[in-house]
Amino acid sequence: MFNAFRTFVLLAGLTALFMVVGYFLGGTGGMMIALVFAALTNLFAYWNSDKMVLSMQGAVPVERSRAPELFNMVDVLSKRAGIPTPAVYIIETDQPNAFATGRDPDNAAVAVSSGLLRQLETREVAGVVAHELAHIKNRDTLTMTITATLAGAISALAQFGLFFGGGNNNRDNPLGGIGALLMVFLAPVAAMIVQMAVSRTREYEADKHGAMIAGDPLALASALHKIAALAGRQVNVAAERIPAMAHMYIVNPLNGQRMDNLFSTHPDTGNRIAALQKLAGEMSLDDKGRRPQPRPRPASGDRDIGGGWRVPTVGRTEDDGGARGPWG
């Protein structure tokens, strides 16, 4: 109920922002046009934004035969989270990263990059997947996806209005052409602030809940450390092309924007890692995600990914070090 109310408030705020942009571009008439545009965009975003986001980020669905261990991992962790198993997508990019989308747990998808699968250990991948499943379980994905869609639309509306000379000769617009020019710069900033408000607190919550789903906070902490370090050196072309989508990823995919300041959509990675380390201490886990007391040996054909979770080792050998799956 609270998440539904929060989503309603977000949509109302973004709709109001649409109307403000429309007013400064075309006066009262522009405001009414923007209201209609916002209503149509909200409707479209609710039903189709997940498909649009996946397409814009170059995510492609994969069959179980291509990535059996990834599929098994998502399935096992989804059952632990108590949600339906989402669709699985892969983004072909060297940058390790991931995001989740969908309007509800019954219509959700998890997208991970090929770089994530190649460069992270199995238990670290499990931590990232669990983080994304936490977003789905908490119903964050609808809010995050709609925010990405509307933020991009607001920026497009502002630039569209300036291109066609919005507000230049409209007496109903108090600032005329200056108002249109201001909207080109201020509207995207306002949309970015909304994104930050949505994203930062949700990332901390998804870290905590994801760590509990996987049972291994330190695996997620290690994954965040590696992703943040590599994201600054490896370009995610799709994310750079559409920055409004950046807040959906587990770590900011945009080069050079990893600081925890006013213009960052993500919390500082160091702060997130510290919170996870604290959680691991509270759970009395060692650096492998295990409790000190003895546990039963894994069943034949299973591989321990930490925190009591075992993912079937399809196509693996015991001497591969657990660093890569058959898809990498």
3-state SS assignment for residue 259 = coil
50-108, pLDDT tens digit by residue?
888 899 899 999 988 889 999 999 999 999 999 999 999 999 999 999 999 988 899 99
- Comparing CA positions, the residue from 88, 36, 93 lying closest to residue 65 is 88
The pLDDT of residue 292 = 64
Q: Distance between CA atoms of 250 and 129, rounded to whole angstroms?
A: 10
pTM of the model: 0.74
In whole angstroms, give the CA distance from residue 100 to residue 112.
9
pLDDT in tens, 189-237: 766 666 666 667 789 999 999 999 999 999 999 999 999 999 888 889 8
Give tens-digit pLDDT for 260-312. 444 566 888 999 999 999 999 888 776 666 666 655 665 555 555 555 544 44
Residue predicted with more confidence, 147 or 98 = 98
Domain ranges of the chain: 2-320
Look up 132 and say whether it is catalytic. yes
Candidate list 69, 121, 124, 132, residue with the active-site label: 132
pLDDT at 317: 36
**Nearest in space to 315 (alpha carbons), one of 298, 303, 305:** 303
Cβ–Cβ < 8 Å for 70, 112: yes
Q: Residue 106 — φ and ψ, nearest 5°?
A: -80, -15
